[in-house]
Structure 1
Amino acid sequence: MTTTPNPTTSNPTIGIIYPDHAAEDDYQIAGDWLTVHLPVEHIYGTDLHAVPELLDLGRADRLAEAATRLAAQHPKAVMWACTSASFVYGLDGARQQAEQLATAAGVPAASTSQAFVAALDTLNITNVAVAASYPQEVATLFVDYLAAHGIETTAMVSAGIETAAAVANLTPEDVFELAVRHDDPSADALLIPDTAMRTVDVLAELETRVGKPVLTANQVTIWYGLQLAGVVRSDARLGTLFTR
């Protein structure tokens, strides 16, 4: 269901296309902190973290339909808020997916996978650790996607969680454990690439615990949407990325 903005507000709007239901409340939290409007339009499919299902979830027609529904919100940019159903297409496929979405939306558009790469470029970071909730096969494809952009993964751990619904049930302490246990001291940043995981309101603590920048899926999605729209916001609660 699409959230309708208050007509009296002048806050900029970044449209969010989100798969099923999991951690979409991260966008409400961040939107309130940043004084931006982040309406969420859902698309539906299986929430299984498996390659065939992810390829189906990220189909161009699904995203185009959601972009059409978001048009009433007059977004300045649109983000496909899904890491796995973008990087699973590979470097060129993810680029084409975003280009098709931008055409359908009539505004700049990108995916969470692209947002991770853009965030790393902004922070001038080329070696990372990855703490992935996904099964091994899918997590490896994320590492491959990063490598295609010249980003070295010094360590990658797969938690082997098969569905987005199961990821959404992780507690903050579960997230902290995933991050702290699977960080690599030699990496310059830690990446947690699943928009089904609630991370926005624990980012500052995550960075304190691992002692380096932490980039999470919903965080980078919001940040890159703002970048595409030419909107400048900063808030230390959202980590190092939002203080640069």
Structure 2
Amino acid sequence: MNGINVSRSGETVRFNDADATARFGLIALATDLTSERDLYRQLPQEHVSIHVTRVAFANPTTPENLRKMAPRLTDAAQLLAPLQPLKAICYSCTAASVAIGDEAVTASIQAGIGDVPVVTPSGAARMAFAALGVRRIAILTPYTIETTEPMAVYFTRHGMELSKVQCLGLEDDRDMARVSDETILNAALGVDTPNAEALFLSCTGLPAINVIAEIEERIGKPVVTSNQASAWAMARLGGFADHQLAQFGRLFGCALPDDAFGKAA
């Protein structure tokens, strides 16, 4: 081989502790511009790895288009199987989790990877409200009215009371990822009502975690966002019981409810 001799090193190979890093799977939409960044910012980076696969999705973000992802989730999960063991897998789409159903999402993903806890943003948000001890919420979404209405139905079906629901009217999740902090802040203040106990800012594409602390300070109530709730649930499932980040809201001071994830997904 061109006169080059290759020999084996005499160094004994040593390995780092396999349990030193908490590994998570993330199934993101092909159009997602926000989830990976937000989750890394909220999880203890030095102890966490997030392994990402993507699932085909085409805008506009309508319930019909969101449901089309359902049969693709098993194949997406299978791409994460060689990375086991994983602490949890997050399917990072709130509106699709509502349109398909949390249970159906979990079943499809576990069909591809086995009995790994599955975090959906919608399910994580419900756990967040339970942990915070609130039942009456106001909801802001970046979606159209057509896509927001099932979100309202979802939370009422799960025992929540809604004081006000508003949307920004966007159809493309790539546009949702570009909504300014000022817009999110002002819209959140506008959807709040005196009798709301907390706010929910829906959509994993919406870069809402930047303004959680300011909104909470302005309204004196907890704020839950899709990516914040997902990161909180993942942190607790990863064994980071004391992981707290005040800049990302009161939620990070809470433990998972006793019945969360079968207490696993």
TM-score, normalising length from structure 1?
Answer: 0.87
**1:172 pairs with one of 178, 181, 205:** 181
Answering whether residue 110 of structure 2 is matched by residue 102 of structure 1, we say yes
2:145 aligned with 1:133: no
Aligned to 1:76: 87
Q: Distance in 1 between matches of 2:236 and 2:103?
A: 17
Structure 2: 5+ residue stretches without partners: 1-15, 255-265
Deviation at 1:236, TM superposition (A): 1.2
Q: CA deviation at 1:129?
A: 0.2
Deviation at 1:135, TM superposition (A): 0.7
Cα distance in 2 between the residues matched to 1:31 and 1:224: 10
- 1:3 aligns with none
Counterparts in 2 of 1:124 and 1:135: CA distance versus 1, 3 Å? same
CA distance in 2, matches of 1:105, 1:82: 19
Letter in 2 for 1:48: P
Give % identity: 27
Q: Distance in 1 between matches of 2:64 and 2:125?
A: 23
Is the 8 Å Cα contact of residues 181 and 210 (structure 2) preserved in structure 1?
Answer: no
How many angstroms apart in 1 are the aligned matches of 2:170 and 2:121? Answer: 19
Give the 5 Å matches for 1:176-191: 176-191=185-200
C-alpha separation in 2, matches of 1:86 and 1:62: 13
Letter of the 1:11 partner, please give it. T
Identify the match of residue 145 of structure 1 among 154, 163, 170.
Answer: 154
**Native 8 Å contact 2:43 2:235 kept in 1:** no
Structure 1 residues 11 and 29: alpha-carbon distance in aligned structure 2, compared to 1, 3 A threshold: same
The change in CA–CA distance for 1:8 and 1:208 in structure 2 (over 3 A counts) is farther
**Alpha-carbon distance between aligned partners in 2 of 1:66 and 1:180, rounded to the nearest angstrom:** 37
Select 1:44's aligned residue among 35, 41, 56: 56
The total of aligned residue pairs comes to 233
Q: Is the 8 A contact 1:26 1:201 kept in 2?
A: no
Task: Give the direction of change, closer, same or farther, for the CA distance of 1:211–1:83 in structure 2 (3 Å limit).
Answer: same
- Paired residues of 2:61 and 2:172 also in contact (CA < 8 A): yes
Give the number of the structure whose alpha-carbon radius of gyration is greater. 2
Tell me the distance in 1 between the aligned counterparts of 2:77 and 2:54.
Answer: 10
CA-to-aligned-CA distance 1:89-127 (integer Å, 9 cap, x gap): 3xxx33122123133222111311111111111111111
Tell whether the 8 Å contact from 2:24 to 2:87 is kept in structure 1 after alignment.
Answer: yes
Match of 1:198 among 198, 207, 226: 207
Amino acid at match of 1:180: L
Mapped to 2, the partners of 1:129 and 1:158 lie a distance apart of 11
Hey, what's the Cα distance between the residues in 2 that align with 1:203 and 1:73?
33
